[in-house]
Structure 1
Amino acid sequence: MERTFKPWPALWALVTGFFMILVDSTIVSIANPAILEDLQTDITAVLWVTSAYLLAYAVPLLITGRLGDRFGPKRVYLVGLVVFTSASLWCGFSGDIGMLIAARAVQGLGAAMMTPQTMAVITRIFPPNQRGAAMGLWGSVAGVAMLVGPLLGGVLVDTLGWEWIFFVNVPVGIVAFVAAWRLVPNLETHAHRFDWLGVALSGIGMFLVVFGIQEGESYDWGTIAGPITVWGIIVTGLVVLVGFVVWQALNRAEPLLPLGLFRDRNFSLSNVAISLVGFSITAMPLPLAFFYQIARGLDPTQAALMLMPMAVISGAMAPFIGRLSDKVDPKWVAFAGFTIVAIALSWTSLWLEPDTELWMLLLPNALLGVGITGVFAPLGSSATRNLPRSQAGAGSGVYNMTRQVGSVLGSAAITALLNARLAAELPGFSGGFGGEAAGSGGSGGLPPQLVEGFSAAMSQSLWLPVIGFAVGALVVLFFAKPKVTVAWGAGGSAPAAADADAPAEAVRPE
């Protein structure tokens, strides 16, 4: 006998775990100086703690979305949650940088199993006339999590140590597992074949590009070993990725990347825009965290509190923006969001100087929260609005993959840019900051003669996410006007008037 369920509690159960895995995309940024000092490493190595997570998160998303279609989003989500929570323990107990990077990669794999399932469930249990509000919740969780990460990280690093940014996931993971087990329905499954060649090509290509970009400055963008050069690695990675796309077009069985989904203009543009969001939001906290802690001498908690207005305002406004996206053309909501964020970050960059009063930097940070709120919900609802039910997992996998690919490239690009600007502003300055700059937990202690150059390097690096959000504003202007779509919700959701005979999504017995 089928058991009735309520869509909203099911969604809340899923976004609990979703919040946790997205917090881990940015929580390390504020802890980087402390990890750098405690594990006796350098800036490039410590930034691989974030890049390894993002890379392992991004590459499998296409196939984990299909796994949700094949075995049910609830089952795949729960398995991923167990992997993620277990890897969090491993991260906390890591005694050297190599072990921490490896544990973060496993953690990213668990996150990759979970993320597509949250969006697929929204697409499958909410009718289109409620999907904007549901995506508003999903989007607000995504936005707030990525902004709260540095704040939570600062408090934990200061009070308990950097290890606790990972240990805290264990109780949250347990609560999320129980909630999802009880509240999320078993939805109808769809048979799929898995494109293992596509998985290999996409994984190898992404790794080569990210490794080349992130490690390029370490080798002066020249030779790594023998005939192997940085640019050779990057070009090889791009060629492999082109081969991946060609294979997807030629694969007549069932490609990993369903190129047919991109015939819908809004799906295609939403993917471009969300990749720019992932790129920019990942790049944004690093210059700020290093500026506040290294140049201004704040401890991790104080540095994190400088980001608090953004997180509070974004969280408060998100539900209203989600409902607004159901009533007006989401293109204009997204355009306003991207534009406001670009303005706020430009404002911040211009004021990122050693003698700027810290309270003044809270003003553009608050404006940043207003803008971020208008980005996630309209993009999510536009991307999924016309997805057929059999492709819900694949479509959400593509969408989340492009966001994570953007995050991976953002992490690699900001690492390269930070190193380049430090080398230009402070010739001979160690990329690892050394003991004198690390201070206590990485905060303060920078010699006065280096503060101005260091601040300039951080300010210049912040223009990278500014450009990303500005380009995103242009992309969303090309969105098509939303269509009246078919409702195929579940759990008793009424179908839209445009398709009153559309069947509800099947809910399997528990």
Structure 2
Amino acid sequence: MRTTTTKNQVMENSKVNTTWILILTSLGFFMSMMDSMIVTTASTAIRTDFNISVSTLQWALNAYNITIGAVLLVGVSLGERIGRRRIYNLGIFIFTLGSVFCALSNNINALIMSRVIEGIGASVMTPMSMAILTQAIPESKRGKALGIWSGIGGLALIVGPSLGGFIVAKLAWQWIFWINVPIGIIAIYFSKRLLPESVGSSDKTSPLDSVLIVLASAGIIWSLSEITSVNNLLIPMAVGTVGLILGIWFVRRQRIEAKPMIPLEYFKSSTFTDGNIATFLLYAAMYGVVFFLPQFLQVVGKANAFTTGLEILPWTGTLVLVAPFAGRAVDKFGEKMIATIGLICQGLGYLLIAIFINNQSSYFVMVIPLALAGIGLSMAGPALQKAVLGAVDPRAIGKASGIYNVFRLLGGAMGTTISVIAFYQFGSLINTRLFTSGFRAAMLLAAIMSTLGIVFSVQIKKKN
């Protein structure tokens, strides 16, 4: 009787610990995602307050994402060496400090620099939260946990724009940053007490490798972000080319180094490689839609910002509702099946919008396709995460998480860029008819990228 009671207590404590691990790792992901979304609805207020142009304002938006992509792998390497929880908490601290600086900024240059500080902190929050969660959860339940993690992060897509608009309307744009401070302090306190510590590789990071990956990532992501917003393509093309050359140099060094930052042997696993490429295409399609869908609803549908947020719900809402159940399906049926079905659903949803939408059609024509695409994303995301992280040794989960997130970020930057190119190739901003034509081209491109992802998802091998 006593043995049974002790066993039940252990199981109950384990469940409580698992719940806290899931909450605290999801919170870091939510905070980093929220900050990339909440600023979008405050952009007009910031531009008016500082009396700056749209092109100048864009730097306040891009600086955050570019910094995340640039320093992500360096931060992950530190986490693997000195402790994932320690670096996770350090990331939250830097992110919170950057938020304070953002709120106190009195000019655009100060705000941009503060966003860079935020990005440095956020760069490790997502991959380290993934690594901590994956390390702490048994493999049989990992898909469910990653599904819930994805759903909570996806919640930022829903509440971010609406919350930002509400705060700006009722208070001031500075408060979109002040709200991070108490959340960050609470997250650090409980993470230090309740999250397990784990390490991966204890190898020292080469300073040259760190410099190369930072400059290469920053150059490539910046050029992809900038190339569609300037008339002179020379500078973005030159920066992107230099970034690509530095990236090739970095990869060559990884081949010959005894202790590389990114062991290229990971890519010998077809599951790891194909999972990352499918992730790249999944998010390339998604971010192209994220960029144009709100504009279409406002320009062609004549909706205001708040109504637009509500009209996007059939798409983004599925991330919260479906992802946890999709995670369970991954555990039961395997990563290959769920990822493939997810990419099919996402591609079909975007294709139906491209086929049936016009500049006079009702919004309700889009509801079912948007929900279908959202269900697809909610299924494929957790499945591809589990496939990539499960393809490496447990001690390499942190680095695998970093690589996964680099593919996700690069996919988002590339998807946005080529979607803008497709939009202007077939449409323009002149009138609603041409805007619709360009939007349909962008949606068709998103469908094609999702379909290409299927080519790689079907190559994922079942883990023995």
What range describes the TM-score normalised by the shorter chain of this pair?
0.7 to 0.9
Please say if residues 116 and 396 of structure 1, whose CA atoms lie closer than 8 Å, have aligned partners that are also in contact.
yes
The one-letter code sitting in structure 2 at the alignment partner of 1:243 is W
Whole-Å separation in 2 of the counterparts to 1:132 and 1:425: 42
1:425 is matched by which residue type in structure 2? S
Q: Contact between 1:73 and 1:121, CA under 8 Å: does it hold in 2?
A: yes
1:175 is aligned to 2:186: yes
The aligned length equals 451
1:337 is displaced (CA, Å) by 0.9
Identity rate, percent: 28
1:258 and 1:476 mapped to 2: Cα distance?
22
Q: Deviations over 1:353-409 (max 9, x none)?
A: 442223433332222222121111111111112422332222222222222222333
Cα distance, 1:476 vs structure 2: 0.3
Q: Which residue of 2 aligns with 1:244?
A: 250
> Does structure 1 residue 71 correspond to structure 2 residue 120?
no
**Cα displacement string for residues 219-252 of structure 1 (whole angstroms, at most 9, x for unaligned residues):** 545445xxxxx43333332222111111111112
Length-normalised TM-score, structure 1: 0.80
- Judge conservation of contact 1:157–1:300 (CA < 8 Å) in 2: no
**Unaligned ranges ≥5, structure 1:** 225-229, 430-449, 484-510
Alignment partner of 1:59: what SS?
helix
Q: Is the 8 A contact 2:60 2:112 kept in 1?
A: yes
Task: Identify the residue that residue 145 of structure 2 maps to in structure 1.
Answer: 134
**How many angstroms apart in 2 are the aligned matches of 1:352 and 1:300?**
21
The answer as to whether partners of 1:287 and 1:459 remain within 8 angstroms in 2 is no
Q: For 1:256, what is the secondary structure of its paired residue?
A: coil
2:428 maps to amino acid = E
The match for 1:331 among 324, 333, 336 is: 336
- Tell me, yes or no, if the aligned pair for 1:54 and 1:408 is still in contact at 8 Å: no
| 2:212 aligned partner | 201
Kindly report which structure 2 residues correspond to 1:245-324, keeping only aligned pairs within 5 A, or say none.
245-252=251-258, 254-324=259-329
CA deviation vs aligned residue, 1:117-142 (integer Å, no higher than 9, x gap)? 21211232222222222222223234
Is residue 153–residue 304 contact of structure 1 (8 Å, CA) maintained in 2?
no
> Which segment is superposed worse, 113-122 or 90-99?
90-99
Relative distance call for 1:273 and 1:84 in structure 2 (3 A) is same
Aligned to 2:28: 17
Shift in CA distance, 135/260, structure 1 to aligned 2, threshold 3 Å: same
Task: Assess if the C-alpha contact under 8 Å between 1:281 and 1:407 holds in 2.
Answer: yes
- Alignment CA distance shift 1:222-1:398 (3 Å): closer
2:404 counterpart residue number? 399
SS at match of 1:187: coil
Amino acid at match of 1:202: I
Instruction: From 85, 89, 95, give the equivalent of 2:100.
Output: 89
CA apart distance, 1:259: 0.9
Task: Report the 3-state secondary structure (helix = DSSP H, G, I; strand = E; otherwise coil) of the residue aligned with 2:462.
Answer: coil
Give the drift of 1:218: 5.0
Match of 2:435 in 1: 454
Q: State the match for 2:395 in structure 1.
A: 390
Q: Which among 42, 54, 59 is matched to residue 70 of structure 2?
A: 59
> Which consecutive residues of structure 2, in runs of 5 or more, have no partner in the other structure?
1-9
With over 3 angstroms needed to count, the CA separation of the structure-2 counterparts of 1:308 and 1:60, relative to structure 1, is same
CA-to-aligned-CA distance 1:478-497 (integer Å, 9 cap, x gap): 111222xxxxxxxxxxxxxx
The reply on whether 1:470 has 2:451 as its aligned counterpart is yes
Please give the secondary structure, in 2, of the residue aligned with 1:244: helix
How far apart, CA to CA, are the structure 2 residues paired with 1:478 and 1:273?
Answer: 10
Give the AA of the match of 1:478: Q
Contact 1:330 1:379 in 2 (8 A): yes
* Mapping of residues 146-157 of structure 1, within 5 Å: 146-157=157-168
The reply on whether 1:482 has 2:463 as its aligned counterpart is yes
Q: Work out which of the residue numbers 107, 121, 146 in structure 2 matches 1:110.
A: 121
Cα separation, partners in 2 of 1:164 and 1:280, compared to 1, 3 Å: farther
C-alpha distance in 2, partners of 1:295/1:31?
22
Query: In the superposition, relative to structure 1, how do residues 169 and 361 fare at CA in structure 2: closer, same or farther (>3 Å)?
Result: farther
- Inter-partner Cα distance in structure 1 for 2:338 and 2:70: 30
Per the alignment, residue 496 of structure 1 pairs with none
